Chain A
Amino acid sequence: MAELTYRAAVSMGLAQELAHDPNVVFLGEDVAGAGGVFKTTGGLLKEFGPKRVRDAPISEQAILGAAMGAAMTGLRPIAEIMFSDFLAVCWDMVANEIAKTRYMTDGQTSLPLVIRTANGAGSRFGAQHSQSVENWAMMIPGLKVVAPSTAIDTIGLLAAAVRDPDPVIFFEHKSCYPMKFDVPTGGGDIVDELGTAKIVRQGSDVTIVALAFMVHKALGAAERLAEHGIDAEVIDVRSLVPLDTKTILDSVAKTSRMFTVEENPRLCGWGAEVVSIVAEDAFWDLDAPVVRITTPHVPLPAADSLEDATIPSVDRVFDTIMKAVQQ
C-alpha cells in the first residue's frame, strides 16, 4: 500500500495509459510544459516526449476536434478541458460531433477518446469555474460519463475509459485533488470497469447514492447517522453512463429508503434519472418517498461561506436523512 493523492493518481493513470499503448496521445492547455494548472500532468512531457504530450492554444473546439479526428483515424487521444465549465465553449464538438458521429455514419467509425476535465466546487472560484456539469454530459446519447471519487478509482476508471472504444467524459473533482488514499502497489496495470457502481459502505436502513466528492459527504453523514442508530449503505455511482442500476436497485430492495446526494443544481440532475428508474422499477420496494439532496437551482456563489452553504454538506445530508427517517 502507498498513500497517494487523487491528483497524483491522475498523472499515474495518464502515465500508465501512455505506457500501455503507443497510440495514446494527450493534449490540452498547459498540460505539457507546465504540468497542468492543477498539477495533474507533471512529468508526462519528460517521460513520453512532445510527440505524445502536446500543449494546445486556448482553443477548446480545436482541441476536441483534433481529438475526434485523431480517434477516427487510429489514435487514442486524451484531451483535457481545463475546467468543466469550459465544455460550454466546445459543446458543439461534444454534443453534436463526438457523440453523434458513430450513429449518423451507421457505425462506419468509432471514437475511442477521453475528455478529462476538472469539475465541481470547493475552490471558491465562482460560478464559471466551479460548476458540476456531469448532468450536461449524461443527457447526450453517445457519450459515456465517469466521475471517480478516490485515487484508485481514478487510475482504474481512467484506464477503462482510455481502453474503451467509445467517447468518455471523465470528470475529476477539484476538491478531491488534495485528498489522500491508500493505493495498492505492484501487481501491474490498474484497470477498472465502466458502468459499475461500488458499495463503499454496507448498511441496511437507508441507501445513499452519491457521486464524486459527494461520496465523501455521504460517508461523513453515514458515520453520524450510525451514532444515531441508522445504518446507511453508501453507493458510489462512479459511472453515470453506462449506469449500474442493478447495484442501486438491489440496495433499495434491501433498505427500502433512498437518498441521492448531488452537487449539480436541482433540475435534471443525475439523481433525477436515478429516482425515476427507482420509481419505475422498485416502487413497491420503497417504504417512503425518495429524497434528493442537491445544490439548489442557482448559479454557484463565490464567497466561501456562501459556497459551503450552497453545495450539499455533511450536516445537510445528515439532517435531511434524520428528518426523513423520523417522520
Chain B
Amino acid sequence: MPSYEDYGNHTPVFPQPVDRENAKLPIPEEVRLKLFRVQQEIRQFEKRAYDMFLQGLVKGTSHLSLGQEAIAAGFGVAMRKDDWTFATYRGHAHTLARGVPMTPVMAEFLGRENGLMGGKGGSMHLTSVEHGVMGSYAIIGAHLCVANGAAWTSQFNDTGQVAVAFFGDGTTNIGAFHEAVNFAAVWNLPTVFVCENNLYMEYTSIADVSPVPNPGADRAAAYGLPSIIVDGNDADAVYMVAAEALDKARTGGGPSIIEAQTYRHHGHSRADPGKYRPKEEVEAWNERDPLPMYHRRLLEIGFGEDRLTAVVQETASSVDEATEGAKNGALPNLESIYTDVWDDGGSQWRN
C-alpha cells in the first residue's frame, strides 16, 4: 500500500516515437486526405464545443477526444457505409467520423430542437442511425454487448456488415467487457472491439487498477484472440489495423480486439482539470499530438501545404456554421417530453 503522501503518484508513461516508416504504408492519397480532414473536423469541432462550455452555452457535461482523434478517424474512414458504430459518452469523435453533420451535434450539446436527438439525449448519447452510429452509451461496457447484437444480425443475414465498439481502458475492468468479448468469440461474430487506452480511467491511472500493462491487448488471449496494439496517435497505423480487422470480421473470421494507445489533452470530463497526471508525461504526449504529426507526414509524402490549408479552412467554416446553426436553434417543444417512449410515438401506459 502506498503512503498517503505517495498515493496516486506513478511513473510517467511516455509515448513511443513516431514510426516514420508508416509514411510508406500503401494508403491511397484520397484516403490520407480524408484521414487528415476527419481529424481536423473532430479537433476543431471539439475545441469549439469546449469554448462554448466555458461560455456557459453547453449544459451538462462533456467528454472530449482531443488528442485521440486519429483513432476515430482511422476507423471511421476504414469502415463501410453500412457498418455500425457503438461509442461511449466520449463519442463526439466517432459520431463525426461517420459523416454525421456538425450542426445537429452541436445543437444537441446546446439542448436545441434541431439537435441530433432533439435535445432528448445530450452529449453522452449521440446517435444517428442513418449514418450507422447506433448510439453512444454512457454506462461503459453495455454497448459492447449491444454491438454484438448488431453483429449477430449481420451474421444472420450474411450481409458482411461489421459492428465496431469503441471504449476506453477503464472499460476493460467491467464485467460486460468480458461477457461481450467472450460471447463474440464463441459466436464468431463480426464485432471489432477498439480499446482507446489513454492511460487513465477517469481520474485514476489504469496501471493502478489493472494487473496487466496493456488493458485491452493483454486480455485478448483469454478469449482466444490475438493481442493487437497500435499507435493510436498515428491515423495511418490505425487505418491499416482497422482495415485488416474489418476485413477479417466481414469475411467470417470473427471478432478482434485492438488496443490503440493514446492520450487525452484534457481531463476526463468538463469537471476535471487532469491534475493527477505527471507534467513530464503530459508534455511528452503533447509532443506526440496526432494532428501536427499527420500534417508533417502529408507534407513529407508530397501533399502541398495549400491543399492541407484549404481543408483546415473549410473545416473552420463548417464549425462556424455549426455554431451559428446550433445557437439559432429553437428550444425543444415541451410536448416532446411525452413522445417516443413507445414505437407508436407516445408514452401512454394505461387506458
Min CB distance A159 to B, Å, is: 17
Whether B145 pairs with A64 at a CB distance below 8 angstroms is: yes
Chain B residues with CB under 8 Å of A65's CB are: 142-149, 176, 179-180
The distance from the CB of B182 to the nearest CB of chain A, in whole angstroms, is 6
Q: Tell which of A75, A103, A106 touches B156, judged by Cβ atoms closer than 8 Å.
A: A75
B294 close to A (CB within 8 Å): no
Which residues from chain B contact A51 at a C-beta distance below 8 Å? 156
Q: Does B279 contact A (CB under 8 A)?
A: no
Residue of A nearest to B157 (CB): A74
Which residue of chain B has the shortest Cβ distance to A281 in the bound complex?
B350
0/1 interface trace, chain B 130-162, chain A, CB 8 Å (1 if under): 100011010101111111111111101100000
Answer whether residue A68 sits at the interface, using C-beta atoms and an 8 A cutoff.
yes
Q: Tell me, yes or no, whether B193 is within 8 Å of chain A by CB.
A: no
Q: Which residues 172-230 in B have Cβ within 8 Å of A in the complex?
A: 175-176, 179-180, 182-183, 186-187
Q: Are A56 and B152 in contact (CB under 8 A)?
A: no
Segment from A90-98, A116-124, A182-190, A312-320 that makes contact with B? A90-98
- The 8 A CB mask of A130-156 against B (1 = contact, 0 = none) is 000000000001100000000000000
Task: Kindly state the separation between the CA atoms of A51 and B84 in the bound complex, as whole angstroms.
Answer: 22
Which residue from A57, A60, A107, A164 sits with its C-beta under 8 Å from B340? Answer: A107
Contact (Cβ within 8 A) A242 B149: no
The answer for the CA separation of A165 and B341 in the assembled complex, in Å, is 11
Given A70-B153, A72-B146: A106 and B118 interface contact (C-beta under 8 Å)? yes
B327 at the interface (CB under 8 A from A): no
In the bound complex, CA of A136 to CA of B145 (Å): 22
Among B20-28, B63-71, B119-127, the stretch that binds chain A is: B119-127
The residues of A that contact B350 with a CB separation of less than 8 Å are 242-245, 277
Query: Contact at B141–A61, with CB atoms within 8 Å?
Result: yes
Is B152's CB under 8 angstroms from A108's CB? no
Q: How far is the CA of A69 from the CA of B150 in the complex (A)?
A: 5
Q: Which residues of B contact A68 (CB under 8 A)?
A: 145-146, 149
- A195 and chain B: residue at smallest CB distance: B351
Task: Check B347 for interface membership: any CB of A closer than 8 A.
Answer: yes
**Is there contact, CB below 8 Å, between B137 and A69?**
no
Residue picked from B142, B180, B182, most chain A C-beta under 10 Å: B142
B-contact bits for A217-249, CB 8 A (1 contact / 0 none): 000000000000000000000000111111000
Distance in angstroms from A55 CB to nearest chain B CB is: 9
Residue of A nearest to B183 (CB): A62
Interface string of B315-351 (1 = CB under 8 A from A): 0000000000000000000001001111111011111
In the complex, are the beta carbons of B139 and A96 less than 8 A apart?
yes
Bound-complex Cα distance A291 to B340 (A): 36
Beta-carbon contact of B125 and A93 below 8 Å: no
B31 at the interface (CB under 8 A from A): no
Bound together, the chains give a CA A244 to CA B343 distance in angstroms of 19
B111 to chain A, nearest CB (A): 13
Could you tell me if B120 and A104 are in contact, using CB atoms closer than 8 angstroms? yes
Contacts of B180 in A (CB 8 A): 61-62, 65
Report how far A103 CA is from B32 CA in the complex, Å. 38
B128 interfacial by beta-carbon distance below 8 Å: yes
* Cβ contacts under 8 Å, A56 to chain B: 183
Contact of B348 among A57, A60, A63, A242 (CB under 8 A): A242
Complex CA gap A244/B350 in Å reads 6
- Residues from chain B with a CB closer than 8 A to the CB of A106 are 116-118, 120-121, 336, 340
Contact of B121 among A25, A92, A104, A112 (CB under 8 A): A104
Instruction: For B154, list chain A residues within 8 Å (CB).
Output: 73
Evaluate contact between A73 and B142: CB separation under 8 angstroms. Answer: no
> B245 contacts the other chain (Cβ, under 8 Å)?
no
Please, which residues of chain B bring their CB within 8 A of the CB of A63? 183
State A73–B120 Cα separation when bound (angstroms). Answer: 21
B293 in the interface (beta carbon within 8 A): no
Assess whether B349 is in contact with A108, with CB atoms less than 8 Å apart: no
Question: Given contacts A59-B182, A59-B183, A141-B341, is CB(A105)–CB(B149) below 8 Å?
Answer: no
Q: Beyond A105-B121, A107-B339, A243-B349, is A75–B129 a contact (Cβ under 8 Å)? A: no
B163 within 8 A of A: yes
Q: How far is the CA of A51 from the CA of B139 in the complex (A)?
A: 31
Q: Is the CB of B351 within 8 A of A245?
A: yes
CB distance from B173 to the nearest CB of A (A): 14
Please provide the chain A residues from 83 to 115 with a CB less than 8 Å away from any CB of chain B in the complex: 92-93, 96-97, 101-110, 112
Q: Complex formed: what's the CA distance from A289 to B171 in Å?
A: 52
Measured CA separation A263–B186 after assembly (Å): 38
Q: Which residue of B lies closest to A243 (CB)?
A: B350
Q: A69 vs B139: C-alpha distance in the bound complex, in angstroms?
A: 16
Partner of A241, one of B145, B156, B163, B349: B349
CB distance from A12 to the nearest CB of B (A): 24
A sample of 9 inter-chain contacts (CB < 8 A) reads: A65-B148, A68-B145, A70-B149, A73-B153, A97-B143, A105-B120, A106-B121, A108-B127, A166-B342
- A contact set with B: CB distance below 8 Å: 25, 51, 54, 56-57, 59-75, 77, 92-93, 96-97, 101-110, 112, 141-142, 164-166, 195, 241-246, 277
Q: Which residues of B contact A (CB under 8 A)?
A: 84, 86, 116-118, 120-121, 125, 127-130, 134-135, 137, 139, 141-154, 156-157, 163, 175-176, 179-180, 182-183, 186-187, 336, 339-345, 347-351
Known: A65-B143, A72-B150, A165-B344. 12 other contacts (CB 8 A): A61-B176, A65-B142, A69-B146, A72-B134, A92-B176, A102-B340, A102-B343, A105-B135, A108-B127, A166-B342, A242-B350, A244-B350
**Shortest 9 CB-CB distances between A and B: which pairs?**
A69-B149, A65-B145, A165-B343, A107-B340, A62-B183, A59-B179, A62-B179, A73-B153, A70-B149
